[in-house]
């Protein structure tokens, strides 16, 4: 028998225990072990079989590292059928997360018991596929179509209590999974219970599946797996079980062959890989209990909120008592949201806002904190003043962090006597909601300071990405390039509205102009002014129509007007009629005759600009690996997850075609479209960005 499944015979109960850490994924050894274990139990004359998982969980699903390789027997659907068709009573005892193929093994069992903390689910759509081992056929037979559609198309995890109410579980009990499972199996044998194969249950009642498909398709914003899963559920109503299984397999294999599956699995592994940096191996982070936040605007208040929610105490420093009170109000507003959603109790809310949060207007209040994050005005001189004061008051070993989104951390560090303690921690607004944290490592930053940055991110449940120092780090540097590309297309004839539409159709959560309105047009304006003051390259195409909006006091959503006009209380706007005339007059001044753009050309140019800059970011070592760029864009910039990230997307469309486009466009503008040396190198060597990810993992 395979070592991944342990076997014991306890009286007349055979016990199969999964032993495949960390999550008992159903790889080949585990599948073979289950099949062998069932045969052995039957040969040993057992009356019942108990299946449970050793370690932290029951099976968390198929081994997704095997996806994309040729399937190897025994296939998971057959394993589930083998378990179900056994003449013995089969009980599964669940703990941890019984997900995907894991829940499908449990559904192949005749009875299911779980500990109260267990969660179950069929999250396959979140990695671009659908249940492929009978989940779409057995679950609807067990709990009906509506609940199955909800669980399968959302991929959500269902707590034990709800799973019991729905009928997915038969029993929920405290105790070790092995103990409660054995007791349940004993009770079933003693009471003369029968086998209870779900495949023999009556087919569920059908609904209007075409209408349901349309609803799910629309809701999934370009993701194909959820709607495809609806067709699988439909088969459970319309076909006998065995044919339904064939249909499920067919649909599953279609999704398995899709780029979306590749993209989503890349995203899954990349978001787990970003924190694994060889340079941090064995490095112990510094102690972290209390932090200081300087500046209580939207960003600072968001950071303070995230820190409080992660159990840190916070000293909020502001310029005046009124500003400090206003900051407290913002933090209370943010925490109020968590209170409303039931994530915090009233008592916890009181504790966080009174005991854990201290307001101050005096730098001395920061003398004892372990880490300070400044979130003051984005201006180098202002930042330097802040860091000079921090250097004077903070205790030795305190981490001094800037939340700057563009400025040079080396220059900031140089104004202190402890540059090794200085780091960039770039949060995204609203900082208590957005998952991304760029940990910006300056030349002198000590490794344990970097490790502390990653630890802070982990405590705040963020996805932290290491970035090097350059204008805008990983995310904003790439953003400013693809945004510039959009501005060029506007000068040449496209409209902001066509561009936003083309890109939301591509899958972005929002188009760049709607994003600019949300972030505040003053941000881009100040960056443009700074860059112009630093001196633009004479070959760079500059555009000024957006400045006009700002000069007129229109900063986007916060002033009710930007590229769009926003009615009070509404998040979606309608096109601002002043914008196109502003663009037209700039074209006139520049002597540009507007031309037509197709949506396809818009996407091709925008994406090529993004990929080209991303390749420069990787080539220069600002991002350690292509996957760091992908995760940054996925979590901070609304890049569609099902496309994996810009560099995964680039690999899938093919690097030679992208480079050829860039070279063609360089004939009209050889300054903007300078091919990234790394892109040229990969094309010349016939390699991909993913090859670089793999090399870095070795």
**Site residues (vs ligand 3H9, CB under 6 A):** 22-23, 25, 60-65, 76, 97, 99-101, 104, 123-124, 127, 131-133, 135, 272
Distance CA(231)–CA(213), nearest Å, equals 7
b or e along 92-108 (b: 16 or more beta carbons within 10 Å of the residue's beta carbon)? bbbbbbbbbbbbbbbbb
Distance CA(685)–CA(681), nearest Å, equals 6
- Six token digits for residue 551: 């000069």
Strands (E) across 281-429 are located at: 290-294, 313-317, 357-360, 371-374, 399-402, 422-427
Among residues 54, 73, 124, 378, the one annotated as catalytic is 124
Distance CA(674)–CA(318), nearest Å, equals 44
Min dist. Cβ of residue 261 to ligand 3H9 (A) = 10
Residue number, 62 or 113, with CB nearest to ligand 3H9:
62
Question: Catalytic: 271?
Answer: no
Per-residue DSSP letter, 62: B
Q: What is the dihedral of CA 300, 301, 302, 303, to 10 degrees?
A: 50
Residue number, 20 or 612, with CB nearest to ligand 3H9:
20
Distance CA(507)–CA(496), nearest Å, equals 17
Contact 475, 636 (CB under 8 A): yes
DSSP H helices, 341-406, are: 346-350, 380-393
Min dist. Cβ of residue 343 to ligand 3H9 (A) = 19
Distance CA(649)–CA(544), nearest Å, equals 32
Distance CA(317)–CA(290), nearest Å, equals 13
Min dist. Cβ of residue 509 to ligand 3H9 (A) = 22
Min dist. Cβ of residue 210 to ligand 3H9 (A) = 25
Residue number, 24 or 452, with CB nearest to ligand 3H9:
24
Question: Catalytic: 378?
Answer: no
Min dist. Cβ of residue 123 to ligand 3H9 (A) = 4
Residue number, 540 or 697, with CB nearest to ligand 3H9:
697
Min dist. Cβ of residue 335 to ligand 3H9 (A) = 25
Residue number, 226 or 296, with CB nearest to ligand 3H9:
226
Min dist. Cβ of residue 97 to ligand 3H9 (A) = 4
Among residues 84, 104, 378, 586, the one annotated as catalytic is 104
Min dist. Cβ of residue 370 to ligand 3H9 (A) = 26
Distance CA(204)–CA(233), nearest Å, equals 9
Q: Which residues make beta-bridge pairs with 565?
A: 561, 574
Contact 510, 463 (CB under 8 A): no
Distance CA(628)–CA(652), nearest Å, equals 17
Residue number, 590 or 694, with CB nearest to ligand 3H9:
694
Residue number, 225 or 315, with CB nearest to ligand 3H9:
225
Distance CA(303)–CA(371), nearest Å, equals 12
Distance CA(256)–CA(566), nearest Å, equals 42
Q: Which of 405, 462, 401, 467 is nearest to 434 (CA)?
A: 462
Residue number, 58 or 545, with CB nearest to ligand 3H9:
58
Min dist. Cβ of residue 23 to ligand 3H9 (A) = 4
C-alpha dist (Å) from residue 540 to 175, 536, 610, 671, 673: 68, 7, 17, 7, 11
3-state helix, strand, coil in the chain (%, to 5): 55, 10, 35
> Which residues lie below 8 Å from residue 186, measured CB to CB, with a gap of 6+?
13
Residue number, 224 or 602, with CB nearest to ligand 3H9:
224
Active-site annotation, residues: 104, 124
């Amino acid at each position: 028998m395979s070592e991944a499944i342990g076997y014991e015979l306890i009286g007349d109960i055979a016990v199969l225990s999964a032993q495949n850490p960390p999550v008992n994924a159903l790889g080949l050894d585990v599948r073979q072990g289950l099949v062998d274990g069932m045969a052995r139990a039957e040969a040993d004359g057992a009356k019942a079989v108990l299946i449970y998982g050793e370690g932290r969980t029951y099976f968390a699903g198929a081994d997704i590292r095997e996806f994309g390789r040729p399937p190897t027997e025994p296939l998971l659907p057959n394993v589930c059928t083998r378990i179900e068709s056994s003449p013995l009573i089969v009980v599964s005892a669940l703990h941890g997360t019984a997900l995907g193929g894991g829940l499908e093994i449990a559904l192949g069992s005749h009875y299911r018991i779980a500990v109260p903390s267990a969660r179950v689910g069929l999250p396959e759509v979140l990695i671009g596929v659908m249940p492929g081992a009978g989940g779409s056929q057995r679950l609807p037979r067990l709990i009906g179509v509506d609940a199955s559609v909800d669980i399968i198309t959302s991929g959500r995890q269902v707590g034990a209590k709800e799973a019991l109410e729905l009928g997915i579980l038969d029993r929920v009990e405290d105790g070790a999974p092995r103990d409660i499972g054995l007791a349940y199996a004993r009770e079933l044998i003693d009471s003369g219970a029968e086998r209870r194969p779900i495949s023999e249950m009556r087919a569920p009642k059908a609904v209007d599946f075409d209408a349901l498909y349309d609803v799910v398709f629309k809701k999934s914003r370009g993701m194909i797996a959820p709607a495809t899963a609806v067709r699988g559920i439909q088969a459970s109503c319309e076909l006998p079980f065995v044919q339904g299984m064939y249909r499920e397999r067919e649909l599953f294999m279609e999704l398995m062959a899709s780029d979306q599956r590749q993209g989503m699995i890349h995203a899954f592994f990349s978001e787990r890989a970003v924190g694994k940096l060889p340079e941090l191996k064995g490095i112990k982070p510094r102690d972290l209990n209390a932090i200081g936040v300087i500046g209580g605007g939207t960003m600072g208040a968001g950071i303070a909120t995230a820190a409080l929610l992660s159990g840190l105490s916070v000293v909020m420093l502001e310029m005046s008592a009124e500003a400090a009170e206003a900051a407290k109000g913002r933090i209370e507003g943010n925490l109020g949201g968590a209170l409303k959603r039931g994530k915090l109790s009233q008592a916890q809310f009181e504790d966080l806002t009174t005991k854990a949060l201290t307001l101050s207007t005096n730098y001395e209040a920061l003398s004892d904190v372990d880490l300070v994050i400044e979130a003051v005005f984005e201006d180098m001189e202002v930042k330097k003043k802040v860091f000079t004061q921090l250097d004077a008051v903070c205790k030795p070993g305190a981490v001094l962090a800037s939340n700057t989104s563009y400025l040079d951390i080396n220059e900031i560090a140089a104004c202190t006597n402890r540059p090794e303690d200085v780091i960039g921690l770039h949060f995204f607004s609203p900082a208590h909601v957005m998952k991304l944290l760029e940990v910006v490592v300056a030349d002198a930053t000590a490794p344990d300071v970097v490790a502390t940055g990653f630890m802070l991110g982990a405590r705040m449940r963020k996805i932290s990405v290491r970035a090097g120092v350059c204008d805008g780090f990983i995310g904003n540097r790439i953003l400013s390039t693809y945004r510039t590309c959009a501005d060029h297309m506007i000068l040449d004839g496209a409209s902001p509205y066509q561009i936003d539409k083309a890109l939301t159709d591509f899958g972005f959560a929002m188009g760049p102009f709607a994003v600019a309105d949300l972030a505040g047009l003053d941000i881009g304006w100040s960056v443009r002014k700074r860059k112009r003051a630093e001196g633009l390259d004479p070959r760079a195409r500059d555009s000024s129509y957006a400045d006009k909006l700002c000069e007129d006091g229109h900063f986007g959503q916060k002033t009710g007007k930007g590229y769009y006009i926003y009615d009070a209380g509404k998040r979606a706007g309608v096109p601002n009629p002043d914008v196109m005339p502003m663009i037209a007059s700039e074209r006139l001044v520049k002597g540009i005759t507007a031309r037509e753009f197709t949506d396809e050309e818009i996407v091709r140019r925008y994406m090529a600009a993004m990929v080209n800059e991303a390749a420069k970011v990787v080539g220069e070592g600002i991002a350690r690996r292509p996957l760091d760029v992908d995760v940054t864009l996925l979590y901070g910039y609304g890049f569609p997850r099902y496309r994996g990230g810009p560099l995964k997307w680039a690999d899938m469309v093919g690097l030679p075609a992208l480079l050829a486009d860039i070279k063609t466009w360089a004939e009209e503008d050889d300054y903007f479209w300078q091919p990234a040396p790394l892109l040229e190198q990969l094309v010349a060597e016939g390699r991909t960005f993913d090859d670089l990810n793999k090399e870095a993992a070795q």
